Structure 1
């Protein structure tokens, strides 16, 4: 199969930006507060402590000061908090991406918005559009329900759009406030893991076509995968109190059984292989997920160092995770002309998104 032809008009990442809420709490304090919440009903506190400690996270940023979570005892209250905070940090990330790209808010033609931690109609992107002063003619594609895979999937969909309209600029915006989905009555192992794993943050990415002066990576190929009959592996169960985590122990088995063949066959369409990938931008799903990726793909030592570092410092940021990792890579100027990078996103469905970049 012939490789894709890379032209000057190929979709290119021309700016990225990230934002974290100002309420940082170290992991020890968070675990202590959760322990207090559950200690009278949880049958095995030693197991709770072991799970929390095994996540290897030093701290996380929260949408609200930790004391303000106590009154949030209904889905309506947590979603109202999401409605207040999400547009604020989303606008900060978007402004930073625009600044780095040398663009104004009115230069954006299409805004793709992804989240899985709150619900709004109209969607939150309308508030960001108003806050930044974007054009009223802007096109919008809000996407809900892709979960952790949405950062990679959104990148692919924005790149598809720019292939069709190379003279335009697309923005991908992710806002995930995972702390507001905490289920205080759920004592399942899945919820104990999730309570210690997920963090809050926002990320933005700008993709353009006719940008010959830009130096960001080109999106040269993408692949979307949905594995049949895997709906019970990962996702949300919608209950009276909001979003209840669905997280099966079979997740890593599914990754281990499939990811190698899928990555290799995808790269083969571009006549390259894993040894050609200089930069691995893998979703920081958790220690077991990253260990599984390292083993299944036979990655060299430190190939996922940025993913591990992101997980340790801010936790799993759901759809924003790969965008944070790519942002760090770009800000460090770690890539050289001709380098390949691969974004790997995984999420509910079970679904996988692969995005091949070239500098």
Structure 2
């Protein structure tokens, strides 16, 4: 089975209280003199206390076209990505030259050569390292990326693979856009990255007790393409966010989770930790209600949301890191855990872990 040797999360350099970001969004997105009470209510209701941004807040009024913003994305993604991968390899007791596959995912910018190509030489990876850049999976990509790394390592059990997620959500800010979807996005999303080092069954991690990936399942819901995603415009990525998303989760998640666990001879009562993407308070509430979870089951996810916001694809990996680092609160060795995330499509990805 695939072993998770290390998970390392980083955040962007500038930390702000939610109120500071709310004030910046009011200046950038609302007409002069507009009533901002709805904006204030949305930002308070997000249950986010602090977030990190790549740039100081006063710089978000500088950009007037997508190309300039995307150049900032590339530079920022390379810096944060290098920090995340180097940290994860160090924790795993491995070197960059040990890496056989580097998977990179982001949905907040694009690059060719891809960010993984720009990182390989900088970090000192071998010239024959395999690379796979992934775009478009959005918030689900942390879970889906881990699942696809597992698929790869099943066929190459001697290999080491690294999954890197970098999301610079602040760069997608749409100025002069007071739509509900844009204002909700400005209430939730933050900037950060995470890297996972995974080893095939015959390439054991150097130290420590590592959880394993047992199985995964993907679920794509028909006729839901306009529930979540981006419209790509001249001004960049304009968010698509339908308020029906939590209800879709309530209607479908329990059946999908139960069927997946049953195929592994398990039920919900066997799961000792729920590693859930911190998508927002309404998403977390919908997950808890759909699965009839005890009140504390998603505490790590809710704490991550409060401290750094929704980091898109990096979010579930930060929650995984925090779950593994929780000391006495860490799940008992040998018990099952479920990592799950949702994203554009609309889709879910389920990954069964064993601690």
TM-score band w.r.t. shorter chain:
over 0.9
Residue 203 of structure 1 pairs with residue 194 of structure 2: yes
CA distance in 1 between counterparts of 2:290 and 2:221 reads 18
Q: Determine if contact 1:151/1:320 at 8 Å carries over to the other structure.
A: yes
- The 1:98–1:212 alpha-carbon spacing in structure 2 relative to 1, beyond 3 Å, is closer
Residue 175 of structure 1: aligned partner: 166
Normalising by structure 2, we get a TM-score of 0.96
**Deviations along 1:198-248, whole A, 9 cap, x unmatched?**
000000001112244652111001001111111000000011100000000
**Deviations along 1:83-133, whole A, 9 cap, x unmatched?**
111100111010111011100000000001100000100110111112211
Gaps of 5+ in 1: 1-9
Gaps of 5+ in 2: none
- The 1:47–1:189 alpha-carbon spacing in structure 2 relative to 1, beyond 3 Å, is same
Residue 350 of structure 2: aligned partner: 354
Where 1:86 maps in the other structure, the secondary structure is helix
Structure 2 counterparts to residues 226-241 of structure 1, below 5 A: 226-241=220-235
Q: 1:317 aligns with which of 296, 304, 311?
A: 311
Residue 304 of structure 1: aligned partner: 298
Q: CA deviation at 1:177?
A: 0.2
Residue 5 of structure 1: aligned partner: none
Q: 1:146 aligns with which of 137, 141, 149?
A: 137
Where 1:173 maps in the other structure, the secondary structure is strand
**Deviations along 1:11-41, whole A, 9 cap, x unmatched?**
1101111111111111111101111233435
How many residues were matched structurally? 350
Normalising by structure 1, we get a TM-score of 0.95
CA distance in 2 between counterparts of 1:66 and 1:202 reads 19
Residue 162 of structure 1 pairs with residue 153 of structure 2: yes
CA distance in 1 between counterparts of 2:266 and 2:130 reads 35
Q: 2:256 aligns with which of 241, 258, 262?
A: 262
Residue 6 of structure 1: aligned partner: none
Where 1:207 maps in the other structure, the secondary structure is strand
Q: CA deviation at 1:340?
A: 1.1
Residue 277 of structure 2: aligned partner: 283
CA distance in 2 between counterparts of 1:330 and 1:250 reads 32
Structure 2 counterparts to residues 61-76 of structure 1, below 5 A: 61-76=52-67
